[in-house]
Structure 1
């Protein structure tokens, strides 16, 4: 009987709780064989992989979801599929009393599971076969037949007593090889140890995916750094036009951003995977064996330099981005200063032109007053001379002389008033605009 829930459940609670159950340790009974493949998937490959899941061999176990499936083929064969952010893993575990070796199993169920796992879509980034035995005595023959070169052998104790042997190479069958001796570890502890070993190897390869693009981008950044240095010198010397320098800076900034956008995700992923590898390495509690390289030594010598290279590339990209932005800001400041100076000179020139125009206008206004007064007095002289003919005692010249100031003053006021009316009409139009 299902109890009634009297509380409101968050919509994401089942997904959050289910996430904690995804990384399940494989069930191991010693001796055992394990095969694991890790694939990188783009969108099309992921869709094709999901379409292939219904054909997964075996009886589907309870608790599966869209990111995890487990089937059982008979009593001793388990097949696991798990989806990650950019990859997926398929793990085949076969236990029982069959002799453990490097030949693929003869059982039809095991071969069907391996065939299904190998032909899934996606590009394999890691494929490894593990032989898990009870103790180091049982492991001796497997180590001898594994084909580990003496100079490349890595062996150490991990997980509180277990011992591993591997060479981190791809063998002729396309798989890496690792031998694990339980050395008395309880089944649960052994399962967790093996899972951490697998996760360390998977995340190590995923982290190393950032190294090739980092090396390629590093050479490109060498050229871009030199080009930025040349632009900086030209900016300081002032021998190249500002618009030419700005065009160069825009192109260089676009090149830097193109490289950054092309490898930023891979570099950040490498950093994240590197942190996971460090965590798994600490959990494995590696104990070196005298005269042999340990898992920690191999990781320190091979992985961390690659992770640091990717981190250095990220820092260098940020530095070049900042330098290009500073050069651009300096150049823009200089261009804006030039424009402000030009605007200042233009405004001063316009001010001088306006003052000169005002002076010319005042001069024209004075000359106009004189001219109009002259013509007005000339017109007035005709009637006065006619009156002087009838009244000789009346002097037309005297009257014109006396009228001249008044006529000039009247003309000046008329012209000035007409000018003021024209100006007052323009001011409302200027306020409206």
Structure 2
């Protein structure tokens, strides 16, 4: 029997982890995105389990990153991402396996709603105490209203009136089979608004459109997280650039090694500051770039059409989101360039310091060689004087020895004996001193 790779099932299921929801209007949806960090997945999963427990529904299994459940009064979809989670609540959607729906159909039916758009929300059905305890901080919040093709027709002014902030984007989808209005704002209730009017889309197409719209709103907020960081570090990098310019200018003006060491110390401190900034911003800038790409992909897949009097989402975000992303990209590039400049300046300065130190060491060695040569000559002089002094005392001893022998009756001339011994004494002492010196030199070399 073939042995499966341990990740085969997990990798295969990943393609089906986030299925599109099939929807028909009317539908009321609330979508929130909670920024909780990379280490809160288990806490969030446990919190979703507490919600399921209240409604006697099976909790998400350990390791689950996507979970959906019919909780009776509302339907919930929870998705865990790398650093945030989204919670999507449907007011009218029901599980297609429930008896009040036609289970033979793949279409998710919905109850008819008798309210104006945004007069009711899906999140008001969620237990308040559970909602207040959701891990993380809310970064995304949006109410979405989906109206069916049988909903009453309204004038453009009536549609716009549902958005307190008049600056909104609007477009058609799939050649006019649906119309979308979206404000990309935060209203007094803390949520943005999306209104979709369906004129003939299939349930799966509606589900895909809704999911992409919610993802656009989520990912554009995640992408913008790096903008305050770029603004925060902008002044610091400008100051670092001025400091680097000052250091490089001083490098060309000064040649003293002590000043070079001082400059190298300043450059090392500047390098540490820049590396700290890079460590603090690199992940956020990279993540924002990835989120921005996701926003552009989702907009492209919507296949927007023009609606008279409104900007399409692509144009709306290109005018507002793209400049912010350009700022972040420019800051990331500026940080990388500054880091490379500091590295080059540091390498150049270290090379100059090393060369000057080598020159100093070479001069020191020459001075030491000269002093050693002088010391050797002095030593040889001292050795000569030492031989002369010792010879004098040895010859004196020979003289007194000869004189003593003469006193005992031997007929010798003490002065002659002393004079004759002088060359032999001097030669013997000189050879002895040289031999001792050679032995010492040999031992020092070993």
Using structure 2 for the length normalisation, give the TM-score. 0.84
Corresponding residue for 2:81?
A: 84
* Distance in 2, Cα, partners of 1:330 & 1:125: 46
Which range moved further: 126-135 or 41-50?
41-50
1:208 aligns with 2:235: no
CA contact (8 A) 2:179 2:196 kept: yes
Corresponding residue for 1:191?
A: 207
- Do the aligned partners of residues 319 and 302 (structure 1) sit closer, same or farther apart at CA in structure 2, a change above 3 Å counting? same
CA contact (8 A) 1:30 1:132 kept: yes
Corresponding residue for 1:134?
A: 148
- Following superposition, the deviation at residue 195 of structure 1 comes to 0.9
- Following superposition, the deviation at residue 188 of structure 1 comes to 0.9
* Distance in 1, Cα, partners of 2:208 & 2:153: 20
Partner of 2:317, secondary structure, is helix
* Distance in 2, Cα, partners of 1:43 & 1:199: 19
Which range moved further: 78-87 or 324-333?
324-333
CA contact (8 A) 1:165 1:178 kept: yes
- Do the aligned partners of residues 133 and 148 (structure 1) sit closer, same or farther apart at CA in structure 2, a change above 3 Å counting? same
Corresponding residue for 2:65?
A: 67
In structure 1, runs of 5+ residues without a counterpart are 1-5
Q: Alignment length, in residue pairs? A: 418
In structure 2, runs of 5+ residues without a counterpart are 93-109
- Following superposition, the deviation at residue 322 of structure 1 comes to 1.4
Corresponding residue for 2:438?
A: 420
CA contact (8 A) 1:42 1:86 kept: yes
Partner of 1:241, secondary structure, is helix
Bigger fraction of residues in helix: 1
* Distance in 1, Cα, partners of 2:400 & 2:168: 133
Structure 2 counterpart of 1:33, from 28, 46, 60: 28
CA contact (8 A) 1:90 1:117 kept: no
Corresponding residue for 1:352?
A: 370
* Distance in 2, Cα, partners of 1:72 & 1:387: 136
- Do the aligned partners of residues 117 and 18 (structure 1) sit closer, same or farther apart at CA in structure 2, a change above 3 Å counting? farther
- Do the aligned partners of residues 194 and 368 (structure 1) sit closer, same or farther apart at CA in structure 2, a change above 3 Å counting? same
Structure 2 counterpart of 1:171, from 178, 182, 187: 187
Corresponding residue for 1:3?
A: none
- Following superposition, the deviation at residue 359 of structure 1 comes to 1.1
Q: CA RMSD in A?
A: 2.9
Structure 1, residues 243-271: CA drift from partner, whole Å, max 9, x if none?
Answer: 33233222222222222222222111101
Partner of 2:126, secondary structure, is helix
CA contact (8 A) 1:388 1:396 kept: yes
- Do the aligned partners of residues 355 and 221 (structure 1) sit closer, same or farther apart at CA in structure 2, a change above 3 Å counting? same
* Distance in 2, Cα, partners of 1:210 & 1:269: 8
- Do the aligned partners of residues 250 and 61 (structure 1) sit closer, same or farther apart at CA in structure 2, a change above 3 Å counting? same
Which range moved further: 236-245 or 303-312?
236-245
Partner of 2:154, secondary structure, is helix
